[in-house]
């Protein structure tokens, strides 16, 4: 009897399975179009997953000065020491300490929103911080070569400001960029409009309206000195405007890129004017920065190339300086600098490079009197790079810096440093601009 029940059960299960088979086949057939091409489900979960990537950067640093003294070195009239959490950024500078450094992890998300917009976001992850570095949308279908970009993003000012640090040819930024734009570059909230000219070569014209929070040249936060003699109110609304033109064309195996940029905005920078400390001061006025860049790249073959890249920036400030004792004086600055770098990719996985940094002009007048600050400050950097794959980079870099001063009697401090940098990426990460 048990055998009969078991046989009936097997027959019923077989019949039920084959009864469902036509319905399954029918559902499959409905997912094909008239050309017998498969059509995926319109609400398939995979269609809604954005491109996700994670980039991690590590280094081992060795310098001939200790961490405390290295953190206190300054470039007179250009780079002041301050905590990196004072201007809205919580993460530390790159390669900050002797020994092992975890510089950052960069988490990026990108996806098409709809036929009209793309959305991109990058999160900067440090040992003790998680910060939205960029979050912006761009338009996809405006007519006449126009495109809009809005949110928080790296400005297209200059040649490399828009590049994330893992795309740089060296482990640190050029000296003039650090001096004029700070450790984090021109990273602002605002809107950008570009026009791509309909001509046989690349010609892009753009402009940006930005909040103007940059900690090195602009700034929006007001201040009041300790004695309450002088006070400057917070800036309201967009305070920084940029414009640029970029072009590229080929001359045989030569690729030429060049551009010009300008940034103009108000400046409010507080370095302790509201604190009872020695040297507390602040400035208020207007800053303009103009720049020009040129890149020449010779393609030897499909892998090897030699590239010469140079960029020059000139900054003018006109306003007032305040100290924490209630004094106020007219302040004028005219400063400029450049970098020039030569990169040789001599194998599929090998590159070598050399960079020359120079601050050639450092003219500052307080109350009409020249402060006689040092000029012609230089830094030399060389690197050798091995890329095991497109997703990993190992770079050995040596730097000889003659631009830094220790303010123990304004003593110039030459710094030699050796860096071993390792950078790795996983996931789907979009291509960078050339």
CA distance 218 to 315: 11
Q: What is the pLDDT of residues 59-118, one digit of tens each?
A: 999 998 888 888 888 888 888 765 444 445 556 678 889 999 999 999 999 999 999 999
Sheet strands (E) in 24-142: 51-63, 99-114, 117-125, 130-139
pLDDT band at residue 43 under the 50/70/90 scheme: low
Which stretch of 11-20, 165-174, 176-185, 314-323 has the lowest confidence by average pLDDT?
11-20
**C-alpha distance from residue 158 to each of 135, 199, 263, 339 (Å):** 20, 23, 10, 12
Structure tokens at 414: 């030459």
pLDDT tens-digit series, residues 276-320? 777 788 999 999 999 999 999 999 998 999 999 999 999 999 999
Structure tokens at 50: 């954005």
Nearest to 152 by CA among 117, 186, 184, 187: 187
CB within 8 A of 6, min separation 6: which ones?
none
Give the CA angle between residues 31, 35, 39 to the nearest 5°. Answer: 25
Give 147's strand partners.
Answer: 194
Weakest-pLDDT range from 294-303, 309-318, 389-398, 403-412? 403-412
Cα-Cα end-to-end distance for the chain: 80
Q: Find the angle CA(330)-CA(332)-CA(333) to the nearest 5 degrees.
A: 150
Which one of 5-9, 16-20, 70-74, 160-164 scores highest in mean pLDDT? 160-164
Copy the structure tokens of residue 381.
Answer: 């950097």
For the record, the structure tokens of 73 come out as 């070195």
pLDDT digits (tens, 9 = 90+) for 139-174: 998 999 999 999 999 999 999 999 999 999 999 999
């Amino acid at each position: 009897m048990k055998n009969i029940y078991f046989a009936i059960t097997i027959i019923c299960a077989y019949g039920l399975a084959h009864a469902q088979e036509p319905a399954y086949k029918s559902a499959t057939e409905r997912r094909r179009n008239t050309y017998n091409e498969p059509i995926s489900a319109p609400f398939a979960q995979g269609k809604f997953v954005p491109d996700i990537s994670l980039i991690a950067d590590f280094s081992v640093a060795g310098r001939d000065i200790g961490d405390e003294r290295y953190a206190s070195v300054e470039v007179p009239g250009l780079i002041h020491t301050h905590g990196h959490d004072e201007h809205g950024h919580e993460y530390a500078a790159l390669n900050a300490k002797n020994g092992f450094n975890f510089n950052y992890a960069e988490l990026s998300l990108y996806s098409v929103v709809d036929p009209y917009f793309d959305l991109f976001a990058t999160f900067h992850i440090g040992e003790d911080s998680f910060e939205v570095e960029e979050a912006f949308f761009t338009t996809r279908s405006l007519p006449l070569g126009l495109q809009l970009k809005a949110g928080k993003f790296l400005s297209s000012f200059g040649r490399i400001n828009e590049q994330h640090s893992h795309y740089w040819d060296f482990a640190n930024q050029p000296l003039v960029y650090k001096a004029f734009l700070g450790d984090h570059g021109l990273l602002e909230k605002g809107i950008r409009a570009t026009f791509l000219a309909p001509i046989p070569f690349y010609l892009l014209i753009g402009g940006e309206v930005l909040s103007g929070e940059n900690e090195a040249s602009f700034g929006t936060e007001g201040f009041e000195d300790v004695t309450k003699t002088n006070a400057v109110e917070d800036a309201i609304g967009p305070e920084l405007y940029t414009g640029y033109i970029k072009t590229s064309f080929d001359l045989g195996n030569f690729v030429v890129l060049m551009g010009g940029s300008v940034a103009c905005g108000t400046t409010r920078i507080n370095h302790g004017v509201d604190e009872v400390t020695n040297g507390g001061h602040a400035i208020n006025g207007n800053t303009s920065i103009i720049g020009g860049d040129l890149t020449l790249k010779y393609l030897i073959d499909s892998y090897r190339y030699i590239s010469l890249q140079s960029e020059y920036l000139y900054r003018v400030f006109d306003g007032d300086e305040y100290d924490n004792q209630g004094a106020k004086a007219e302040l004028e600055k005219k400063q400029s600098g450049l970098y020039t770098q030569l990169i040789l990719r001599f194998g599929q996985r090998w590159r070598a490079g050399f960079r020359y940094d120079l601050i050639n002009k450092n003219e500052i007048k307080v109350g009409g009197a020249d402060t006689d600050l040092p000029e012609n400050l230089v830094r030399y950097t060389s690197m050798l790079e091995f890329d095991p794959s497109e997703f990993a980079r190992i770079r050995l870099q040596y730097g000889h810096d003659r631009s830094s001063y220790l303010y123990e009697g304004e003593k110039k401090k030459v710094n030699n440093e050796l860096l071993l940098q390792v950078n790795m990426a996983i996931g789907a990460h979009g291509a960078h601009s050339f």
